[in-house]
Amino acid sequence: LLKVKIVVPLTCHTNELAHRLITAHNLPCYLLGKLQASLKEFVSSTLCQLQVDKAEQSIHHLKQFGPDVIKDISDHWCKCLQDEVAHWSDHSNKRNAVQSIQLDNGQSVAQVYHALIHSPAMEAILQLEYTYASVVKEIVKQRNTELEQFEIQHQQQLEIAIQSGIASDRKVSRLAAQHMEELQFKNAKWNSTLSDLMENQKREFYAWMVRVYNSMVENNGVPTERTLSMPHSIVATLSRAAPDSHLNHESNNHVDNRMEESFTIYLGTQKKTMHNIRLMIGHPLDLCRSAYTGSIGSGIGPPPQRIQTALSLYSSTLNGLILLVDDKPNCYTGIKNEFAMICEESSEFHFLSHPEQLHHIRRSIQKSQSTRAKRQDSEDNDIDSLEIFWDEDDDSVVLALGDFYSTHHSNLSDIHVVYHLVVNDDVKSDRLPNRHPILTGLRNALNTAASNDVTTITIPLLLVNEMTEEMTISWCVKRAELIFKCVKGFMMENEMWSNNQACIVQFLIPKGISEEMFNTFTGMLPGIFRMAAALNLSTTA
């Protein structure tokens, strides 16, 4: 019989303690599941009993005072509890502003927005969204500037402490830990500021939208000029902004004249369906960045791509993008960090924010992986001795090669749905077999897009976002031919591509490709796809 002294409350997780006991006492590994469950139950019951005993001691000690002192203490804690509940209740109401809106005619918020965006109020809606985004961008710019200066200052302090030789290693480590704590505190403060600002904008935007919609219903489809005016908070913000402020002079350095060419193709033999294929040079995130130029109130309208994105938000003609990412959805690195920063530059009025969507995706992946593991273990083991527990506090998720997850957005320039496809260094290899997990994942993503009203899908032609030195001309030609043929096969085998609605497949070529290589890619298409015959219109005498 093994007896171990356990101090409650624990300083580590019960799962970690179980692993330590297994290792320290050479226990059989098949006891891990039951040991974790027993430890969890023991620690929970013991901690509960300790809290009960402590509460009884506090009550016994409190009885020694008079009723006036007891009343003062209870009033104090009642006030603290009321303030806490009121604070979080207001925060919850802000987050649920979309669901709390009630219309007299039973219309949903999506139907209201769809009606307004296809009415004379369209320009006012897009202008208001742009104004909100400008305010958020200004806050993000201030945050980035302060954090950058803060890190530079701390780096200088560390260099001085190390070069002086007076501070010991322990003091230097303590100084670095203090800097990290301060940086985390500043990050939390700015994130809270941004979150509150976005929630206030969302609540204000929907209240404004409902007011305009009701005015439009009462005036035979034409809203009044008074209801189309901007909310008071926006007017006050613009009035406080300096003439040369970022709010009034928004510039865009990402818009350029990209090289592109379009083709019309036919799929099928008996029942032919017509689709469009477009080759263009650019970066995937260029389709996501805001394309607004000019200043607020300058009379310059929103760009055409943003108008089209807003018009088709609640429709059956959505725009999708295949974004190549790594296997860790909980880590913001590389292109995922850049994409998250783009999503952070404006408020999301129609869906959950990007971090919230990723949180739900990670939880769903964890649950599904835990369920699969339990099912596999039950099939492989006759005895129910090995159990797998899903820990809600564990945020680490690793996806398999070829897996993908989707996020939905209304604040991007050209994209509604982003399919995050997991890839690795295999995309740079010379040989990529047809049954490779990356190509299988691409096929599954295209099938999912076709089944969910995504009629315009953008695919990286070479399965890379940027060109490198090892990507030779022959490598580019082979990779482009492989993707062209695979996409054609995916389109022909999916019946959703055989309907009467024409779809657009955009092949995105990384920047740095020469014009000759671009012409080579365009010359490959007639040999792979069936092109529409060109009409020669000529007059005869």
**3-class SS string, 277-317:** EEEEECCHHHHCCCCCCECCCCCCCCCHHHHHHHHCCCCCC
pLDDT tens-digit readout, 321-379: 999 999 888 888 889 999 999 999 999 999 999 999 999 999 888 888 777 777 776 66
494 and 461 in one domain?
Answer: yes
471 domain residue, yes or no: yes
Domain containing 153 equals: 99-240
Looking at residue 230, what DSSP letter applies? P
387 domain residue, yes or no: no
Quick one: average pLDDT of 517-539? Answer: 80
Number of domains making up the chain: 2
Give the pair of three-digit tokens for residue 449. 């897009």
What is the per-residue pLDDT for 420? 96
Give the pair of three-digit tokens for residue 357. 């969507």
Position 99 pLDDT exceeds 60? no
Task: Label residue 219 by pLDDT band (50, 70, 90).
Answer: confident
Residue 387 to residues 39, 83, 104, 378, 505, Cα–Cα distance (Å): 14, 43, 52, 9, 46
What is the per-residue pLDDT for 516? 92
Is the separation of the CB atoms in 483 and 255 below 8 Å?
Answer: no
pLDDT tens-digit readout, 255-273: 456 788 999 988 877 777 8
Please report, rounded to a whole number, the percentage of residues in the chain having pLDDT higher than 70. 82
Question: The tokens 């035979």 sit on which residue?
Answer: 220
23 domain residue, yes or no: no
Domain end among 176, 209, 240: 240
Residue 162 to residues 132, 170, 171, 172, 185, Cα–Cα distance (Å): 45, 11, 10, 7, 25
Is the separation of the CB atoms in 112 and 216 below 8 Å?
Answer: no
Task: Label residue 280 by pLDDT band (50, 70, 90).
Answer: very high
Which CATH number fits the domain that encloses residue 432? Answer: 3.40.220.10
What is the per-residue pLDDT for 348? 92
81 domain residue, yes or no: no
9 preceded by cis ω (within 30°)? yes
285 domain residue, yes or no: yes
What is the per-residue pLDDT for 499? 66
Beta strands 454-460 and 318-325: pairing type? parallel
Task: Label residue 380 by pLDDT band (50, 70, 90).
Answer: low
451 and 332 in one domain?
Answer: yes
Domain end among 173, 206, 240: 240
220 and 163 in one domain?
Answer: yes
**In 345-472, which ranges are continuous DSSP H helix?**
354-380, 437-451
Give the pair of three-digit tokens for residue 12. 């580590």
497 and 419 in one domain?
Answer: yes
Which residues sit opposite 406 in a β-bridge?
419
316 and 460 in one domain?
Answer: yes
226 domain residue, yes or no: yes
Give the pair of three-digit tokens for residue 202. 């969302």
228 and 145 in one domain?
Answer: yes
Is the separation of the CB atoms in 467 and 511 below 8 Å?
Answer: yes
Is the separation of the CB atoms in 14 and 40 below 8 Å?
Answer: yes
301 and 447 in one domain?
Answer: yes
Looking at residue 532, what DSSP letter applies? P
169 and 290 in one domain?
Answer: no
Round to whole Å and give the CA distance between 41 and 27. 20
Residue 300: closest CA among 235, 253, 248: 248
290 and 217 in one domain?
Answer: no
Task: Label residue 494 by pLDDT band (50, 70, 90).
Answer: confident
Give the pair of three-digit tokens for residue 44. 């929970």
What is the per-residue pLDDT for 456? 94
265 and 224 in one domain?
Answer: no
10 domain residue, yes or no: no
Domain end among 210, 240, 270: 240
Position 249 pLDDT exceeds 50? no
352 domain residue, yes or no: no
Round to whole Å and give the CA distance between 277 and 106. 41
412 and 302 in one domain?
Answer: yes
What is the per-residue pLDDT for 500? 59
Which residues sit opposite 294 in a β-bridge?
250
171 and 280 in one domain?
Answer: no
Round to whole Å and give the CA distance between 21 and 4. 9
Position 390 pLDDT exceeds 90? no
- Under 8 Å CB-to-CB from 276, ≥6 apart: which residues? 262, 263, 264, 265, 502, 503, 504, 505
